[in-house]
A and B are shown apart, each in its own frame.
Chain A
């Protein structure tokens, strides 16, 4: 692609600032003297030469992948692969509202990230009225743990790992007792959420979190596959087949009328 004549700026005014010989299509272009309202740089452009999408039925199961760092209040440098709060939350709202969607599968391979963003996503998944199943592949560390347990049923791949360790404070830390109190409070939010939405008792989770001798440069524990199930953090060990089977089962169960007294 010879781009030496093309403007470097990807701007809405492109067709009228480019030399004529570079116009790709031969259709006469009528210059629009009225300046267009500026939106996103591509808002007055459309694609060219594309096939129309293949017709396919709508999936009744939607899937959200949580990968890399969970990004909340701060934008991370571009070499980080991130799952953004503002992408996930509207999707969860849409899934809750769309009557064609009957279940949600959450696939996790995350190294943790922003505590508030992670807890926000987890709270959204917990309060979803539709059946949810989570599957941890690779890793569901730190703040990935509350997201994993927030689903109605959680699965972990046999080789996947979960690291449980204390929360750390970044930036300015003032050496006063209040700093500890604050940190403890932040940690309690995570501990409370995890223990309320999984089978693990609070004492056991705290014990794993503050265990020494397991991690070389930190305190905490790494749980691999079945170990996470054994301590009661994750419901079962499995892969995509088991996860989808469970999700379909939960969907059928939820669609059945309740077996309570006769509704008159």
Chain B
């Protein structure tokens, strides 16, 4: 990785040593997405794992979107 920024490196990389996100792969409407759990029923979308470019246009699946789970 090559960084090209006027920001000091210790600010850019602050906290990177203890950064250990817990990602989980789930299927939402048939699409595989990587989520990061916020609490027991909320999660935010990190990444969409799909080769269909239109899957990336679904506003509900935008990276950062919060999804809520409920019992069936």
A→B interface (CB under 8 Å): 1, 3, 6-10, 14-15, 18, 24-25, 29, 40-42, 44-51, 53-54, 56-59, 61-64, 78-79, 87, 91, 94-95, 104, 111
How distant is A89 from chain B, measured CB to nearest CB, in Å?
12
User: Is B54 an interface position by the 8 A CB rule?
Assistant: yes
- Picked from A48, A51, A53, A64, the residue with its CB within 8 Å of the CB of B51 is A64
Nearest chain-A residue to B35 (Cβ)? A42
Q: Is the CB of A25 within 8 A of B70?
A: yes
Nearest chain-A residue to B40 (Cβ)? A6
Q: Is the CB of B51 within 8 A of A62?
A: yes
What are 27 A-B pairs at a CB distance below 8 A? A6-B39, A6-B41, A7-B40, A8-B40, A14-B41, A15-B71, A24-B41, A24-B68, A25-B70, A42-B69, A44-B72, A45-B70, A46-B69, A46-B70, A50-B60, A51-B59, A53-B29, A56-B54, A56-B57, A59-B54, A62-B53, A63-B51, A63-B53, A78-B21, A79-B16, A87-B32, A104-B51
- Picked from B57, B58, B70, the residue with its CB within 8 Å of the CB of A24 is B70
* A41-B24, A47-B67, A58-B54 known; A78+B39 contact, CB < 8 A: no
Nearest chain-A residue to B30 (Cβ)? A53
User: Is B20 an interface position by the 8 A CB rule?
Assistant: yes
Q: Is the CB of A61 within 8 A of B71?
A: no
Q: Provide the residues of chain A in CB contact with B39, threshold 8 Å.
A: 1, 3, 6
Q: A48 to B41, alpha carbons, bound, how many Å?
A: 10
User: Is B12 an interface position by the 8 A CB rule?
Assistant: no
Q: A95 to B51, alpha carbons, bound, how many Å?
A: 8
Q: Provide the residues of chain B in CB contact with A24, threshold 8 Å.
A: 41, 68, 70
How distant is A220 from chain B, measured CB to nearest CB, in Å?
16
The 6 closest A-B pairs by CB, nearest first: A15-B71, A45-B69, A62-B51, A3-B39, A48-B70, A6-B40
B→A interface (CB under 8 Å): 1, 16, 19-21, 23-24, 26, 28-29, 32, 37-42, 49-54, 57-60, 67-72
The winner among B29, B57, B60, B70 for most chain A CB atoms within 10 A is B70
Q: A78 to B18, alpha carbons, bound, how many Å?
A: 10
Q: Provide the residues of chain A in CB contact with B40, threshold 8 Å.
A: 3, 6-10, 14, 18
Q: A147 to B25, alpha carbons, bound, how many Å?
A: 25
How distant is B55 from chain A, measured CB to nearest CB, in Å?
9
Q: A57 to B60, alpha carbons, bound, how many Å?
A: 18
Q: A103 to B53, alpha carbons, bound, how many Å?
A: 12
Q: Is the CB of A47 within 8 A of B69?
A: yes
Q: A49 to B23, alpha carbons, bound, how many Å?
A: 22
Q: A174 to B13, alpha carbons, bound, how many Å?
A: 36
The winner among A7, A10, A78 for most chain B CB atoms within 10 A is A10
Q: Provide the residues of chain A in CB contact with B26, threshold 8 Å.
A: 40, 42
How distant is B18 from chain A, measured CB to nearest CB, in Å?
10
Q: Is the CB of B53 within 8 A of A50?
A: no
Q: A41 to B16, alpha carbons, bound, how many Å?
A: 28
* A6-B40, A18-B40, A79-B16 known; A29+B71 contact, CB < 8 A: yes
